[in-house]
Structure 1
């Protein structure tokens, strides 16, 4: 888990280095800790240690990420998504009238 976390951290740092050095280091650390956390949860699950607790934590983690991603897209890109859907709707209406 730690080896994979180091690789992920280096990859994220390298990918975001052109944007901002401070941001790339922070995002690299966040990715590294996320990999370590998931690896630890997987190890506990395999060792049958607090199995139901680990499952609840993992489901909560996935739900938190999904909700955060949905809110970020929904609130942050509301205008862009609205424009894309409006253009798509106009295209469909135009095709149906043919």
Structure 2
């Protein structure tokens, strides 16, 4: 897991995407152009939570170290300290792997 100097705001979450699959289940090696973008990754930073009308912060459902699945086109791709990261809102996360 990466150690980064980045703190997301509100209900945003920084995820380090998993590596793209290089072979199919049948053993066929995929060229770079045929690899799909990964849709799962590891949470490396979380924001403080969404600011509620009451003035308190809403609690996030994920924590640093969780493995999550997110939408194919959700979030923003950024490069931090030479590593590809994805910044998502909590609502962009579809599931947390147990």
- What range describes the TM-score normalised by the shorter chain of this pair? under 0.3
Relative to its length, the structure with more helix (as a share) is 1
Give the structure-2-normalised TM-score.
0.25
Mark the structure with the bigger radius of gyration.
1
The structure with higher relative contact order (CA 8 Å, sep 6+) is 2
